[in-house]
Amino acid sequence: MAPLVALVLLGLLSLSGLDAVARPPKVQVYSRHPAENGKPNYLNCYVSGFHPPQIEIDLLKNGEKMNAEQSDLSFSKDWSFYLLVHTEFTPNAVDQYSCRVKHVTLDKPKIVKWGEFSSSFLHCCQPNLSIATAERCSDLKASASWDYQGLY
């Protein structure tokens, strides 16, 4: 009797995952360090918030698959999954880098280009954050101000 109960419980546990909601992946492509032409760096593709866990992630250089390493599959507290794929690369003005993601929730592969939205920022500007606080806070009032430069 005990083996039958264990088998039924195991079957119920395996069926409980069938009602999970499929979630499309969110894709972020970024370099480990601020990009400098000709200086070695690491290219990262962070894919998160997806379900089911079966997914294919490739880093591309000019549309061709690069050799890359992948982290272990992990999950968040909401049971969605995330992965990091990364590789060494040397950015320059000619090559284009991107991340291609294939998942059951996508009609076609999702391709996100590195630096596409703000390529000029990657080459010309370094953000500078400075914070000034009030020197005396003898009463309950306190103030702070900041100036963030370098992003346009």
Domain annotation covers residue 61: yes
Domain annotation covers residue 26: yes
Domain annotation covers residue 6: no
Q: Is the pTM of this model over 0.75?
A: no
Q: Is the pLDDT of residue 58 over 90?
A: yes
Predicted pLDDT at 94: 94
* CATH number of the structural domain spanning residue 76: 2.60.40.10
Residues of the domain holding 53: 19-117
Whole-angstrom distance, CA of residue 117 vs CA of residue 81: 26
